[in-house]
Structure 1
């Protein structure tokens, strides 16, 4: 089996679908994991300048707790220019990265690996690392993803699409973007053992005797904060818990006694929350990004067996028998009353969509290359 050189996000923290799959592939393949090479040019603010400095000097970002690296995965930080736009900048970035990666692959005797990328900005490296084939794992609609240079990244993605031997699309909307003859539909999976095995109750969950509704994930532009505000105000008989990084420049949650923002948590800690609240929430806005998404948290909520209340979006349809769908704040409030005491039993469905089963499918596809 061929080794992998992987371009993904910074390894660790809240693992992406690429991390879940590659960790399982690494049981039979060596993996060189290159920490994020960026999706947008830095802007003139402290955070962006700091990130650009880290990328230029090969440092990884700090944040979530790092998860254990599998024995066959070597994580590497390289110096780069994030999301180069001009032809000169792209060529300079490619030269800079190749000067670092070439000796690494040579020293480890990695010959004709599979180049796997979940970042379109790796397009200019395709064909220059002696790789056997190129795999593009597309988990997001980068043309609508918040916080990236849409035009620049879309141009990189078009080049990568031409060069890729295999494209893996995480949603049906994404699948429709790419050439059918080399694209496979690969929806997200779930770590069944982590989220279904009984976990202790987190100490910082509210302990007031009221039922708890919870959400984990980024506080970003794709959440419906108007709906959240109305529901939290209408249901003072419930506690509302939010977990994850705030990616906005302001605090978006209602400042109420029954609203608790607990900040980011390590991935392994999430079952200690989702198994012990009474309803799991997915209050998305139906924008272009959400139309193309297949959220990891959906299957994780199902594995935790807690009832789910969600706004409608395309990826939800296949799981609709196991989700309470509401389009309005009134609908959310009604569903909160309906789910009290419920348990979401769908073990067979969850096992069918495990990351182990997803990795088996990918392994077959890689071997077919």
Structure 2
């Protein structure tokens, strides 16, 4: 099978789509289109710089080839079971205008993008062609890229996601749901919003070996007891709660790793708060494994209720004790983590875990870590890539009349034998 993927900028934030196509690119033909964005640009330094970078790449018709030749991909069974150093054979910068509220701009985008895709696909061997859209802003290319099956992969609630033009992107998502052949969602809450007959649940995975295999303590981890969080410090993170935690545990270090996109002035000025900038995904496991407690201090909001954060399974695989704001996707693991509901006292729950850890022997701690880590052992991204391939192949066969349409009573992931 060959794929055209509209996703985030390849090599930037390690999104679920990128994790999946690290595996699928190993044996499949993939054209990757970098991000088209989800809002109109504003007159600020960040957006002007991004527009300049995108425009420069667009004007130079930036396309990088990573393979000089390509063999016909083997069947699904050959998807590798260990993380490969694979990436799409072709990475493109979109020839598109980020003005999705204006019909003329959308028509121009449809014409330019479909030409880009057809040109990139022309050099590939003949094979079934799947169009994979991770962003609603790419809806207009459906039916214009010579694809045989179209997929909407919904990894976030775009109607609540910060930094998105919710009204415009919401309308585009409605169009996308109507046009596409298959919808894959990262959480049950998202799946419930879409038509049951063409929606399947594809929950996030984890680089299990990377996060579960013991790593040596990196130099950046302090020698004090440490509470940690990695990810963007944005509006959906409870910054006030982090301030209270830092004040409540003055002899502990509160370690944060990630970019800052909200007001954190008071938090970062506290003497026991240590922040590191975003780092390569492969380095995060060594930090979280060497924290005493990992935190997921989210605000209670629609975006968090519908999310299925990648770091949840990564924290679990590391074996590090977790104290987490209660949200739907986390409840499947409530036997191994501490959930804090909206009416609970986060710090009281945290105190309880601290006391429990102080009373446990090293052997008991290791046993608990192993039990926690094993909960996500079967959720490796290699297995998620196989399942994604299976769902897309089934949708293609149904569309072509090779197999009759199936009616599912549940959008839960199916149990299939993938040797």
**Deviation per residue, 1:271-301 (Å, 9 max, x gap):** 1101111111000111000000001101101
**What is residue 151 of structure 2 aligned with on the other side?**
135
Of 289, 298, 312, which residue of structure 1 is paired with 2:312? 298
Relative to structure 2, which stretch is displaced further, 83-92 or 288-297?
A: 83-92
> Which residue matches 1:41?
40
Kindly indicate whether the alpha-carbon contact (under 8 Å) linking 2:32 and 2:88 is maintained by their aligned counterparts in 1: no
Give the TM-score normalised by the residue count of structure 2: 0.81
Q: Does 1:91 align with 2:107?
A: yes
| 1:45-124 mapped onto 2 (5 Å cutoff) | 45-58=44-57, 70=86, 73-109=89-125, 112-124=128-140
Residue 37 of structure 1 deviates from its aligned partner by 1.1
1:292-348, CA deviations, whole angstroms, 9 ceiling, x for partnerless residues? 000110110111111011111111110001101234233333333333563422343
Q: Give the whole-Å Cα distance in 1 for the aligned partners of 2:57 and 2:111.
A: 15
Q: Which runs of 5+ in 1 are unaligned?
A: 61-66
Q: Distance in 1 between matches of 2:302 and 2:388?
A: 27
Structure 1 CA distance for aligned equivalents of residues 131 and 17 of structure 2: 13
* C-alpha displacement of 1:53: 2.5
- Is 2:31 the counterpart of 1:19? no
In the alignment of these two chains, the number of paired residues is: 360
CA RMSD of aligned residues (A): 2.0
CA contact (8 A) 2:29 2:124 kept: no
Once the two structures are superposed, the pairs formed by residues 250-329 of structure 1 within 5 Å of their partners are: 251=265, 253-326=267-340, 327-328=344-345, 329=347
Once the 2 structures are TM-superposed, how far is the Cα of residue 34 of structure 1 from its aligned partner? 0.8
Question: Structure 1 length normalisation: TM-score?
Answer: 0.92
More moved, 24-33 vs 147-156: 24-33
The correspondence for 2:384, drawn from 355, 358, 363, is 358
Deviates more, 1:10-19 or 1:179-188: 10-19
The residue number in structure 1 matching 2:179 is: 163
Structure whose alpha-carbon radius of gyration is higher:
2
User: How far apart are residue 109 of structure 1 and its match?
Assistant: 4.8
1:330 maps to 2:351: no
- 1:254 CA drift (Å): 4.4
Residue range with higher mean Cα deviation, 344-353 or 178-187: 344-353
Please give the alpha-carbon distance, in whole angstroms, between the structure 1 residues aligned to 2:281 and 2:240.
28
SS at match of 2:91: strand
Among 154, 174, 189, which residue is 2:190 paired with?
A: 174
Q: What is aligned with 1:63?
A: none
- Say if 1:188 and 1:294, in contact at 8 Å, map to a contact too: yes
